[in-house]
Structure 1
Amino acid sequence: MSNVTGERTQTEAQVEQVLKNYDTESRFRKFTSHHVTRTVAFMAIALSLFHLYTAWTGPLVTLKHRALHTSVVMALVFLLYPFSKKSAGDKLTVVDILLAILSLATGAYILIDYNGIVLRAGMPNNTDLIFAFITLLLVLEAGRRITGKELAILAVIFLAYAYFGRSLPGNLLSHRGYGIKDILDYMYLTTEGIFGIPIGVSSTYIILFILFGSFLDKSGMGQFFNDLAMALAGTSRGGPAKVAVVSSGFMGSINGSAVANVVTTGCFTIPLMKKVGYRPEFAGAVEAAASVGGQILPPVMGAAAFIMAETLGVPYLKIAIAAAVPAVLYYLGIIMMVHLQACKRGLQGIPKEEVPRVWDVLKSRGHLLLPLVGLVYLLVKGYTPIYAAFYSIVLTVLVSALKKETRMSFRDILKALEDGTRTALGVAMSCAIVGIIVGVATLTGFGLKLASAILLVGQGNLFITLVLTMIACLILGMGLPSIPAYIITATMAAPALAKMGVPPLVSHMFVFYFGMLANLTPPVALAAFAGAGIAGANPTSTGIQSMKLALAGFIVPFVFVYSPSLMLINTTWLDAVMVTITATIGVIALAGAVEGYLLTHANALTRVLLLVGALCMIKPGVITDVVGIVVIAAAVLLQRMEIKKKREITA
């Protein structure tokens, strides 16, 4: 028993260290003072209860609601997150307490003087400007503490651009310029800057779905997903890797944090993958690619789908339906590469006696699926995501009580409320900072100017424009969580595609994919580096391997741009089925080409044929489909001839 306890403690310590290295949101203080701990817990629980109450009764006036949400979040960040890594991690400083009080004051000012602010619209007084300046500094500092310096630096650059834009040479990026008073007014006293759409979605949809995920976690949903995936795929070839793909995909969709998901599920799946014979780099890459993909997997999609729905003004359900087939293709690509790697290396699964039975898992915790079923049902029936999330949380508490092992105590409920707010802090501050960036882009027209620049370089060619947009998204999304990455790329890069005639939903999904995949692309592949930390592997090698595993994710967005029927947009069911089948064959062939194995080890010629056939099948069109089928059939025939030859030699 002592050995088991020691191993568990060692694993927990490793998880904590990796999280601190790669996930700034995990570098929070652990107070020695019970009074401070209780104060922080009270504030976090109160904020969660406020959002649950407004989900039931309706939100406050827009500016009030967003300001209150932001101010309490900032206060909690200053209390929980130290100034730097070297700062004390167990006690507060006087400066942090003052910053937390100032944060609360910025929200209180809007709540108290809301009528005056409305009457003074466009003509702020000195007090307005002072609070605006303080809020701007507090948002930047709180964001730096919890999300890292990259996003805060980007926001400062954009603020400088708003002020100095008049001095830029040429007409491509220059603008008339704005004074400090104009910038402060726009950022604090309107719903276009800090309190714009990103923080609006954070204070309504995102906080509720993060709470939903927190309640699911407390009911044991994470363990259920792991056990179910183990029961379904554990005994197959390379079973642990397939378990990682399935469980990490589902959990990544719900919790919305790729890096945290890599570490929390990876501490279980990565050692199992290494145990059956996968190389450390491959094991870390599987977990990273699967966790990142959770952001594109319905029904929750890491909450970014709600921002997309709000930005485009379309129902959330339309986003989820459009994302379904591409997400399946993404995961099919990973699973196929995992399977072919296992076949190539002769790896086996986990012994049957060590794997739980599907029926036993479902009998023990299967009832925990009911809240997810309820969520999907409410969304399909046309209820708002806020309504659906609220009642799904209530349903989670009720359903968990059906069995003793999943029943949530009052303490568990309070902990779920506290953890929900804590988890939402990073997303909320990212949204607040991104609000500054989007606000400047709107104020100055930067998004349209960048779109014009991309189109100018692309010379009106759609493919070149797509490639340039992809590169821009991978750079803009570098080191950022998926939600701010999507908002920034949608503001900066999506307009270029819109000008080329790409439908808005398709263009936004395109930039979302590549903003998300920036978590896997070196030099700043945070999710891959976290996986490498757990696996004890080389970070760069793990990043390159994770890109190979996620290769379908780099190609599928190009497919749905040229053929929106893959996203079930303006298409018949027959067309949708045909394009899905051809894309599926293409993804399987692509996996064979990358891994160098399909039916047996593939030589250079076979790999080239598989790659050519894959690209032809993935690209929509009758001619390309026919060519792809012929080329892939030739590759399969060569493989069969190779197998027959080996058998004859053996005989």
Structure 2
Amino acid sequence: MGAAAFLMVEYVGISYVEVIKAALLPALISYIALIYIVHLEACKAGMQGLERHYKPTLAQSLLSFASTIVGLLVLSAVIYYGVGWTKDVFGAAATPMIAAVIFIAYVILVKISANYQDHTLEDPNADITSVPDPGPTIKSGLYFLLPIVVLVWCLTVERFSPGLSAFWATVFMIFILLTQRPLMAFFNQEMSLGQATKVGVIDLLESLVSGARNMIGIGVATAAAGIVVGVVTLTGIGLVMTEFVEFISGGNILLMLLFTALISLILGMGLPTTANYIVVSTLMAPVIVTLGANMALSFL
């Protein structure tokens, strides 16, 4: 969904803030439905959750879920409204000032995280028998929220392109991977800085390999979507689809939207979100625009 939002910005040519406003309610409905579907499948399969050190009530679980959603919204609002004014006041100097603040916050959060690290050597192949306590787990990785802060800042305040915003967020994430272990080693005094730096470099290389492997499927699907787009562009099948939808809808706007949604659903089967958006936006969006323009002209 996040990658599709970036594509919307590129294809439609509107700001990321407008995409967020338009996609907020559908995204909430989608994720609530996803959680409910997972719950139903787990109940159908008779799956039981891991043992908890504490058992929250239903009200506490709902409050925790709502707090997470509200926290993300508040974080975005604070970045946009609470820090965005610095751009108007300090101009070009606001960016290095915010960068310095983020760096200081990063060091402080790593210091907090170092106090919650589990120093016992665990077997990675051992079975997980209980759910870790959420409090220490969250506090041990709070600094991983900072790349999101950088991303939101670049998108909403600096108004960078999605690609450039993701680039700077990725650069900061690489910086975190390289420096988190040396900083923790400095605060905990458990290993030398050289050894910690070596481990950080290994973590970075492993993450690059893992990221490349995960992108293979998306890359292939996006390439296939590009082939579909090229075929549509060269053969003129888009005009045929426009005439087809107009014929079966009989000029009725509601039927036109329903048939377009059905065709989009069929075209998107088996495709990830990114490739799905490319195909549907290329094939079906011009259909709606063309038919809508024709109907507007007919009324004139």
TM-score by length of 2: 0.56
Tell me which residue corresponds to 2:153: 377
Tell me which residue corresponds to 2:136: 360
Partner of 1:409, secondary structure, is helix
Tell me which residue corresponds to 2:83: none
1:455 to 236, 241, 246: 246
Q: Does 1:388 align with 2:153?
A: no
Q: Does 1:320 align with 2:13?
A: no
Residue 346 of structure 1 deviates from its aligned partner by: 11
Tell me which residue corresponds to 2:269: 478
Letter of the 1:358 counterpart: P
1:402 to 140, 162, 180: 180
Change (3 A) 1:343 1:466: same
Note the alpha carbon deviations across 1:39-86, whole angstroms, 9 max, x for none: xxxxxxxxxxxxxxxxxxxxxxxxxxxxxxxxxxxxxxxxxxxxxxxx
Change (3 A) 1:490 1:425: same
Letter of the 1:306 counterpart: F
CA distance in 1, matches of 2:208, 2:228: 30
Structure 2: runs of 5 or more not aligned: 54-129, 186-195, 294-300
Tell me which residue corresponds to 2:230: 439
CA distance in 1, matches of 2:173, 2:264: 37
CA distance in 1, matches of 2:134, 2:166: 28
Note the alpha carbon deviations across 1:479-503, whole angstroms, 9 max, x for none: 233322222222222223224549x
Partner of 1:383, secondary structure, is coil
CA distance in 2, matches of 1:366, 1:420: 22
CA distance in 1, matches of 2:166, 2:271: 26
Residue 348 of structure 1 deviates from its aligned partner by: 7.5
Residue 328 of structure 1 deviates from its aligned partner by: 0.3
Q: Does 1:417 align with 2:208?
A: yes
Change (3 A) 1:371 1:443: same
Change (3 A) 1:418 1:358: closer
Note the alpha carbon deviations across 1:119-161, whole angstroms, 9 max, x for none: xxxxxxxxxxxxxxxxxxxxxxxxxxxxxxxxxxxxxxxxxxx
5 Å matches for 1:95-494?
A: 295=1, 301=2, 303-336=3-36, 350-353=50-53, 354-381=130-157, 382-400=159-177, 401-403=179-181, 404=184, 409-494=200-285
Contact 1:309 / 1:316 at 8 angstroms: preserved in 2? yes
CA distance in 1, matches of 2:46, 2:214: 41
Partner of 2:132, secondary structure, is coil
CA distance in 1, matches of 2:45, 2:209: 46
Contact 1:378 / 1:388 at 8 angstroms: preserved in 2? yes
Residue 326 of structure 1 deviates from its aligned partner by: 0.5
Change (3 A) 1:334 1:391: closer
CA distance in 1, matches of 2:148, 2:24: 16
Contact 1:477 / 1:489 at 8 angstroms: preserved in 2? yes
Contact 2:4 / 2:277 at 8 angstroms: preserved in 1? yes
Identity of aligned residues (%): 37
Contact 1:451 / 1:492 at 8 angstroms: preserved in 2? no
CA distance in 1, matches of 2:163, 2:24: 21
Change (3 A) 1:348 1:439: closer
Contact 2:16 / 2:156 at 8 angstroms: preserved in 1? no
Aligned length: 202
CA distance in 1, matches of 2:47, 2:220: 44
Partner of 1:478, secondary structure, is coil
Residue 342 of structure 1 deviates from its aligned partner by: 8.6
Partner of 1:361, secondary structure, is helix
Change (3 A) 1:357 1:478: same
Contact 2:222 / 2:275 at 8 angstroms: preserved in 1? yes
Letter of the 1:326 counterpart: P
Change (3 A) 1:363 1:451: same
Change (3 A) 1:436 1:377: same
Partner of 1:402, secondary structure, is helix
Residue 463 of structure 1 deviates from its aligned partner by: 2.7
Residue 331 of structure 1 deviates from its aligned partner by: 1.7
Change (3 A) 1:373 1:460: same
CA distance in 2, matches of 1:343, 1:423: 30
Letter of the 2:151 counterpart: L
Change (3 A) 1:420 1:356: closer
Contact 1:370 / 1:399 at 8 angstroms: preserved in 2? no
Letter of the 2:140 counterpart: S
Letter of the 2:150 counterpart: G
Tell me which residue corresponds to 1:34: none
CA distance in 2, matches of 1:438, 1:393: 29
Residue 369 of structure 1 deviates from its aligned partner by: 1.7
Contact 2:9 / 2:19 at 8 angstroms: preserved in 1? yes
5 Å matches for 1:499-648?
A: 499-501=290-292
Residue 409 of structure 1 deviates from its aligned partner by: 2.0
Contact 2:9 / 2:15 at 8 angstroms: preserved in 1? yes
5 Å matches for 1:33-44?
A: none
Contact 1:441 / 1:447 at 8 angstroms: preserved in 2? yes
Letter of the 2:218 counterpart: V
- Aligned CA RMSD, in angstroms, stands at 3.4
Residue 341 of structure 1 deviates from its aligned partner by: 8.6
Change (3 A) 1:438 1:468: same
CA distance in 1, matches of 2:15, 2:23: 13
Contact 1:448 / 1:492 at 8 angstroms: preserved in 2? no
